[in-house]
Amino acid sequence: MIILSINAGSSSLKFTGFDMPSEKVLISGVFERIGIDGSFYTIKLNGEKIKKEVELKSHEDAVRILTEELVNYNIVKDLSEIKGVGHRVVHGGDKYADSIVIDKNVTDTIRELFHLAPLHNPANLMGIEAFQEYIPEATAVAVFDTGFPQSMPEENYLYAVPYEWYEKYGVRRYAFHGISHQYITEYMQKFLGKENVNLITCHLGNGSTIYSIKDGKCFDTSWSFSTNSGLVMGTSSGDNDTIVVPYVMKESGMSMEEVLNTLNKKSGLLGVSGVSSDSRDIEDGIKEGNERCILAQKLFVNRIVGYIAKLWCPLKKVDAICFAGGIGENSIMTRKQIIEGLSSLGVELDEEANNVRGEFKLITKEGSKIPCYIVPTDEEVMIARDTYKLID
């Protein structure tokens, strides 16, 4: 059975085609700069990467071209062979704890939640509607980034603000990257041979999150109401005192939108280093002795270590700490610094084992009180799995 996993962004559309239930990848790629000059798309097929420049005025253009290429490259003879299309949807509010077959009620709810994810949900819905037009017979499934963390208890997701703010406005802690953290959890459940795992899962990249997993379910997280919370990220500041916003507005004359834009797009590794939002550039700067890059890396690592310690305490026993995401899977330096920062918890790094990128591996010594693993994540296959389960 052929299933597509789709991740539609504001100016991009990522796709992977799977043969299910074998989970064999048939084709993958991304359409970039949709609605922007210089648009193009790349396709990965049989180990080959193909790039084509083309005008992409809308997500509908991307979907039209994708469906044509699926036939051109003999992935399918006819689009009716595609039985399901799974869509990553960033925000489901507290409406959806599980993936769901998309109908009008679901699309209406996604639209109603635009205000909670104004950069993501509208793009996700554009992707859904475009595929419904071009492959109407395929079952469409919404897989929510906020779904897995819906298992958090009230004391972990509520703020100490007037309760009516939660009732009337939905003010509470949500969490994102849930699809990734669920994949890591299920992978470790299988690897460790137990359902009731206790884990600290770290998805570290341009956007970063840490979850605590208790008895196989999300118990707490570093993220809060918005994506500009928790850890230091590529361009986002992470946790801040709420008074910072009105204070900077008063002192600088900036508008609220300008301050929030700065906290979201000009802060984090970029804002502190003044060099780049990319961890690889930060590491290059550190090697050259750039003091601002050294400082940015310290802030990044210190925040991670602090959150791991905070999330570890209520679990009492942790089966593993897991590293995923672009930085978590590939930055030898960052993993080393984090694990060294956890030495008071009895965590001991195996430097030789840690000298690897992008593969599943135990990277702590045998005597380490908490084992640490690299667990390459796969959000696309999680979307395909949920879609396959929901198809009649």
What beta strand segments (E) does 186-293 contain? Answer: 199-203, 209-214, 217-221
CB 356 within 8 A of CB 374: yes
Task: Map residue 361 onto helix, strand or coil.
Answer: strand
For residue 100, which amino acid is it?
I
Token duo for residue 278: 């990319």
Q: Which residue in the list 61, 145, 319, 386 is annotated as catalytic?
A: 145
Residue 41: partners with Cβ closer than 8 Å, 6 or more residues away: 29, 30, 31, 32, 51, 52, 54, 56, 62, 65, 66
Per-residue buried b or exposed e for 261-296, using 16+ beta carbons within 10 Å of the residue's own CB: ebbbeebbbbbbbebbbbbebbbebbeeebeebeeb
Q: Please enumerate in sequence order all residues whose Cβ is within 8 A of that of 118, keeping only pairs 6 or more positions apart, or say none.
A: none
What is the spatial distance between Cα 315 and Cα 319, in angstroms, rounded to a whole number?
10
94 among known catalytic residues = no
Q: What angle do CA 221, 301, 361 make, to 5 degrees?
A: 80
Q: Are strands 199-203 and 209-214 parallel, antiparallel or unpaired?
A: antiparallel
Yes or no: say if 201 and 184 are a contact pair by the CB < 8 Å rule.
yes
CA 154 – CA 342 distance, rounded (Å): 28
Q: Distance between CA atoms of 113 and 103, rounded to whole angstroms?
A: 16
Token duo for residue 92: 């489901």
How many Cα atoms sit within 13 Å of 155 on the Cβ side?
Answer: 1
- Rg of the chain over Cα atoms, rounded to whole angstroms, equals 21
Q: Please provide residue 180's backbone torsions phi and psi, each rounded to the nearest 5 degrees.
A: -65, -45
**Residue 64 CB coordination number (10 Å):** 15
> Catalytic positions, please?
145
